[in-house]
Amino acid sequence: MTTIYLIRHAEAEGNLYRIAQGQHESSLTDRGWRQVRALERRFADIRIDAVYASDLYRTRATATAIYRSHGLPLHRCPGLREICVGDWEGRTWGDIARSAPEAMADFGSRMDRWSIPGAETPAEVLARVKAAVEDIARANPGKTLALFSHGYAIRLLLANLQGISLRDTGEKSPTGDNTAVSLLEWDGEALRVVWQNDNRHLKDPEYLAGEKPGRAKRAFALEPGLWFRPLEGPEAAERLSAAWAEAGEDGPVPAASLTLEGLLNEEPAGLLHLAPETGRIHLAYIRPDCRRRGLGVQLLGQAVQHTRAQGGETLSALPGRLGEAYLRDCGFVPQGEAEGRRLWQKPIGFDPSI
């Protein structure tokens, strides 16, 4: 009998920033890295003979929890990739919900009828992932394996192995938490689900000690959030200046090459004023009545995406403009001074050793 631990990747940027990841590359969040360490503790005394992961960065990074601590090589397997979501990749769920509400609803609840340009169908993903897992099992008879994949792909596979149709997967097979572990067995002919979506390692005291008290949990996996557009036109300078003053800043607004307006449904909710070529965030502003709803971090997501697109690997900001508590919560650390204030920075590059 071959034993297979099937594990979802840790919390990644798309999960936090409400961006459709698909096969779009993204890194792990600070919380995701804490999940990796919790996963490492869980598997510390479990014998693992081989480790496989999707070739996407977020799964390879999560797999370090086992392959590095067990002294094993990592086998990259493109067949374990997440679903390619075509035209949706890299877009915010808020933008997708606004432009294609029916397709977005089908994506989470009626996989049998979801299809958009340039994307795989759920049926194609199921066939690909199932074939990959079976091939890995055949190549490792009698061994204990750790396989790292993605939420949607794992959900499709677990439902299928339990006789749940694509039509009913949305209702009867939930998505497991980040780093949730499922156990499969392979008898040489077929896969069987022993148990699924176990997250006990995220309840141990060491992991919980790092959780921010009162941090809101999203209502559901595809909760949309904001969508963004450039702030342009004759009133742009006036609105930016008003937000700058409301943020408690004096003097003129610094020049920057990009100003984005974040909207919740059709209502303006925030502004991001950014120089992506340098990674400097001058303003990340959320309207007072929209605060404490997990929207501010979505501004940071846009800063990450636009700065990476310019080849940048670091974001920077000044605490007077964003607040030290906000910066610390978002993973920034103080690094020297600029303009008479402490300069805070956050690395956003990918670790080349992973």
Q: Please report the DSSP string for 52-93 in residue order.
A: EE-SSHHHHHHHHHHHTTTT-PEEE-GGGPPPPBGGGTT-BH
Range of the domain at 108: 2-208
Whether residues 200 and 295 share a domain: the answer is no
Q: Which of 179, 208, 237 is the last residue of a domain?
A: 208
Q: Is 354 among the domain residues? A: no
User: Which of 48-62, 101-115, 305-319 has the highest mean predicted lDDT (pLDDT)?
Assistant: 48-62
Q: Strands 314-317, 267-275: parallel, antiparallel or unpaired by DSSP?
A: unpaired
Whether residues 145 and 190 share a domain: the answer is yes
Please calculate the CA angle 311-314-317 and round it to the nearest 5 degrees.
130
User: Which of 17-31, 240-254, 324-338 has the highest mean predicted lDDT (pLDDT)?
Assistant: 17-31
Q: Is 215 among the domain residues? A: no
Whether residues 26 and 146 share a domain: the answer is yes
Laid out side by side, the sheet with 191-198 consists of 74-76, 50-53, 144-149, 2-8, 181-186, 191-198
Question: Which of these ranges, 41-45, 69-73, 103-107, 230-234, has the smallest mean pLDDT?
Answer: 230-234
Q: Which of 174, 208, 242 is the last residue of a domain?
A: 208
Question: How far is it, in rounded angstroms, from Cα 43 to Cα 67?
Answer: 10
Does 98 score more than 80 pLDDT?
yes
221-246: average pLDDT: 85
Q: Is 156 among the domain residues? A: yes
Whether residues 315 and 239 share a domain: the answer is yes
Whether residues 57 and 131 share a domain: the answer is yes
Q: Which residue has the higher pLDDT, 331 or 181?
A: 181
Within 10 angstroms of residue 314's Cβ, the number of other Cβ atoms is 14
Does 91 score more than 50 pLDDT?
yes
Identity of residue 105 = A
Q: What is the 3-state secondary structure (H, E, C) of 190-212?
A: CEEEEEEEECHHHHCHHHHCCCC
Does 208 score more than 80 pLDDT?
yes
Does 187 score more than 90 pLDDT?
yes
238-265: average pLDDT: 90
Q: Is 78 among the domain residues? A: yes
DSSP secondary structure string, 198-261?
A: E-GGGGSHHHHTTSPTTPPPPSSTT----EEEE--STTHHHHHHHHHHHTT--SPPPP-SEEEE
Whether residues 20 and 138 share a domain: the answer is yes
Could you tell me which residues are beta bridge partners of residue 316?
A: 280, 345
Whether residues 277 and 198 share a domain: the answer is no
Whether residues 332 and 192 share a domain: the answer is no
Taking only the tens place, the pLDDT of each residue in 122-158 is 999 999 999 999 999 999 999 999 999 999 999 999 9
Whether residues 154 and 98 share a domain: the answer is yes
Taking only the tens place, the pLDDT of each residue in 259-304 is 999 999 899 999 999 999 999 999 999 999 898 888 889 999 999 9
Number of domains the chain contains: 2
19-31: average pLDDT: 94
Please calculate the CA angle 258-259-261 and round it to the nearest 5 degrees.
145
Structure tokens that stand for 203 in this block: 């309840």
Q: Is 320 among the domain residues? A: yes
Question: How far is it, in rounded angstroms, from Cα 100 to Cα 103?
Answer: 5
Whether residues 139 and 38 share a domain: the answer is yes
Identity of residue 295 = L
- Give the pLDDT of residue 220: 44
- Give the pLDDT of residue 215: 55
CATH code, domain with 202? 3.40.50.1240
Whether residues 70 and 118 share a domain: the answer is yes
Whether residues 155 and 300 share a domain: the answer is no
pTM equals: 0.92
Q: Strands 74-76, 50-53: parallel, antiparallel or unpaired by DSSP?
A: parallel
57-68: average pLDDT: 98
Q: Is 296 among the domain residues? A: yes
- Give the pLDDT of residue 322: 66
CATH code, domain with 287? 3.40.630.30
